[in-house]
Structure 1
């Protein structure tokens, strides 16, 4: 079965039964950190362009103010004491990713594991990570909430798919 999981053509990168422990909000925290390390302002702009190109619904805001999505260099060059802007992106109506412009060297976003239950939502999430990773040619990693630097899964550039990076937890 595992051989099939890696092939594209409607078959999932990851199988829900194999990875559901990593989507358990009680174990992982409900908002795990998803990140692309070793980035630049240009990489941020590439992601903004991808979001626009794919027509994903999105909303950019600074504090309570909703604004048009600016260029990455504009957002990332704001003053240090300015409020951290965020970009909410919905790859599908039920799945939300919240990008935070904290740093130009790491593209950082949160997802809510409560929205990512079951194979269908997992497929949407893997597809989202894969599109970002393929466009940037970089890994996209998911760490448990508050356990930065210990990714459990992510997009692997070599394999060109989302793979497990930790052993599933045995319940």
Structure 2
């Protein structure tokens, strides 16, 4: 699967025409799950720091209450019956990622495929995955909604870019 040169000056990790099947709402669900496996509290904190450092717009909330972004350790050590907080992050005005603090050993977030149609938005998503993957030195994997453990694409640490992990023809 060589990169086609010449298109977009080679800046795109993935070409929309090659992967648009993975952004089909009927196939993938509208909210695929994205995860960084084998994570730690430190990784979560690194992601929170990255959001602040990049100046990405964000909003942290617990239930209906919007609060300042806490330290990752505080969120992840909350009582078991506490509401699952979420952190909404906008890498650009039109693309939203919602981080869910469900487990300290996995950084997980949802993206909305309705916002991710076309090459420009795909580039934003790939850039977001790359920032997180490079920071943590770990893969960032996207599974279809409700199909945990079957990633279709993700950031590959060795390749240092986002790659296709499933065969588009299979779906």
TM-score class, shorter-chain normalisation, is: over 0.9
Whether 2:88 is the aligned partner of 1:91: answer no
Q: By how many angstroms is 1:2 displaced? A: 3.5
Shift of 1:4: 3.9
Distance (Å, rounded) in 2 between the aligned partners of 1:93 and 1:166: 29
Q: Distance in 2 between matches of 1:14 and 1:170?
A: 18
Residue 20 of structure 1 corresponds to which residue in structure 2?
20
* 1:1-171 superposed matches below 5 A: 2-4=2-4, 11-169=11-169
Deviations 1:5-61 (A, max 9, x none): 6xx966200000000000011110000000000000000000000000000000000
* Separation (CA, whole Å) in 2 of partners of 1:9 and 1:93: 24
Q: CA RMSD in A?
A: 1.8
- The TM-score normalised by the length of structure 1 is 0.95
Q: Secondary structure at the match of 1:91?
A: strand
Partner Cα distance (1:31, 1:112) in 2: 5
SS in 2 for 1:133: helix
Q: Contact 1:35/1:107 (CA < 8 Å) preserved in 2?
A: yes
**What residue ranges of structure 2 are gaps of 5+ in the alignment?**
none
Contact kept in structure 1, 2:134 and 2:160, CA below 8 Å? yes
Task: Report the Cα distance in structure 2 between the residues aligned to 1:169 and 1:22, rounded to whole angstroms.
Answer: 10
Could you list the runs of 5+ residues in structure 1 that have no partner in the other structure? Answer: none
Tell whether the 8 Å contact from 1:130 to 1:155 is kept in structure 2 after alignment: yes
The runs of at least 4 aligned residues of structure 1 exceeding 4 Å deviation read none
Paired residue total: 170
Q: Deviations over 1:92-137 (max 9, x none)?
A: 0000000000000000000000000000000000000000000000
Kept in 2: contact 1:4–1:11 (CA 8 A) = no
